[in-house]
A = this chain, B = another copy of it.
Amino acid sequence: MKAADPANRVLVFTQFEDVAYSPCGIPYVHGKEIPDFQSLFLADKQAYVDAGIEISYETTVRSIDTAAKRVHVEGVGEVAYDALVVATGFDYKDPGVPGSDLDGLYRVKNIRAAMEWDKVLDTVKRAVVVEASPLGLEMVTALAHRGIETHVIDPHPWALGDLCDPDVVAPVQESWAEMGVQMHWNTKLEAFLDDGAGHVRGVATSGGELPAELVVVATHKVPSNALAVAGGLAIGSTGGVVVNDHMLTSVPGVFAAGDVCEIPHIAGVPLQGLTGSHAYAQGKVAGFNAGGGDRSYQPVYVPWATVAGKWIIGGVAFGEVAAEALGMPYVVGRATGISRARYFPGVKPVRVKLLAEPGSLRLIGAQMVGGEGIKERADFLGVAVKKGLTLHDLATMENVYSPPIGALNEPIAVAAQDGVAAAARGA
């Protein structure tokens, strides 16, 4: 809002003790890859004071009255606004089983809580992670790094079941097995088990009981939409606040950004619960427009990548599982290449799968697993999907060849060549 007009007065209400830290870094502190929580803070509170932004910490907004253009803030009273941005974020989906209020259930979110949980982890011998979601992957890897006996349960037949194809996630699961992780697929959570003193002692699942002193609840993210619902904002099929391309909700003057909202995706399917990068970009658009500016948020194709086990997996838009679920026909091209010259120390495999629309061979998605360069390739392929590039375009792309940093053949190009050949064979 200050970018749109420095004269704008900006008030922020947050129920938390802190702002401006990176929650995405929490699993890596737990995994001992980042030395401390302090390094996750981006700016101190004074920086916001200096910037003229008025933040009220540990303050809860109880309701929104869009007709009167004011919010009710606990302990403060009514606060009027000209424009409002709702950024209430997400909650982990309630698994809907007994025992969800026991001690020892860890829902990764708040950095102060994470600092306390980190001390608990020093005492934990055995942990269960509920669902191999993106956060679940990071926490499984972190707990295993930390030497804790780690179990993961998930109702899908493989990790990231909704998002990721089994061939792409297979190396991750192999490396987890090498790290001692015990995986329980096709396994439903039935209860968190009480030790009799209000602390979790394990979980009951469709495959039996698993004892554990700690359970990480890494179920899917759902919009934290209670305020928005009560305030009368239109809610979409995902439970997210519906916004237009200006991040404007159904109510004039009220914007939303981040995990609380849903945005239109390819083929009109709404998407919710994207990445910190998306939330940041949405927040900039929503804030700028709330401050009197005029910016659009572009359609998203959601390049993603994460470290899991000893691999990096990633992709963009549709993989085979998603395309089949949506009934989208596709041609597929695959290649397994390498990240550097074959003989250069540190060389790692890079496996690429490209999906394209039959006929036009226009790229509709990609999935990758490898050791290096997955994030940059996912970014590239995100632009490629958005701009309508085809397998022909990618099959004839040039690539850098330099032994320490790039192989003779770029795996994306080889996968595209494979897809072109498959299409020509009518495969």
Number of copies: 2
A98 at the A/B interface (Cβ < 8 Å)? no
- Tell me whether B25 and A402 are in contact (CB under 8 A): no
Tell me the complex Cα distance, A375–B398, Å. Answer: 11
Given known A-B contacts A373-B373, A380-B376, A383-B397, A34 and B343 have beta carbons under 8 A apart:
yes
CB distance from A300 to the nearest CB of B (A): 6
Whether the Cβ atoms of B405 and A25 lie closer than 8 Å is no
Which B-chain residue is minimally distant from A389 (CB atoms)? B387
A343 and B39 contacting across the interface, CB-CB below 8 Å = yes
- What's the nearest-Cβ distance from chain B to residue A41, in Å? 9
- A312 interface residue (CB < 8 Å to B): yes
B277→A401 contact, CB < 8 A: yes
Q: Pick the contact of A389 from B33, B383, B408 — CB < 8 Å? A: B383
Interface string of A332-355 (1 = CB under 8 A from B): 000000000111110000000000
Q: How close is A111's CB to chain B, nearest CB, in angstroms?
A: 12
Q: Which of A302, A342, A402 has the most CB of B within 10 A?
A: A402
The B-contacting residues of A in range 291-348, CB under 8 angstroms, are 298, 300-307, 312, 314, 341-345
CA distance A400 to B373 in the complex (A): 11
Would A379 and B397 count as touching, CB distance under 8 A?
yes
Q: B344 contacts A28, CB within 8 Å?
A: yes
Selected contact of A398 from candidates B22, B24, B374, B382, CB within 8 Å: B382
A377 contacts the other chain (CB 8 A) = yes
A408 with B276: CB separation less than 8 A: yes
Q: CB within 8 A of A405: which of B343, B374, B394?
A: B374
Which chain B residue shows the least CB distance to A374?
B405
A126 contacts chain B at the CB level, 8 A cutoff: no
Of B341, B378, B410, the contact of A400 (CB 8 Å cutoff): B378
For residue A420, give the distance in angstroms from its CB to the closest CB of chain B: 12
CA–CA, A399 to B277, complex, Å?
7
A40 at the interface (CB under 8 A from B): yes
Q: How far is the CA of A301 from the CA of B384 in the complex (A)?
A: 17
Q: Collect the chain B residues with CB atoms within 8 Å of residue A342's CB.
A: 42
A residues in contact (CB < 8 Å) with B: 22, 24-25, 28, 33-34, 39-40, 42, 275-278, 280-281, 298, 300-307, 312, 314, 341-345, 373-380, 382-384, 386-387, 389, 393-394, 396-406, 408-410, 412
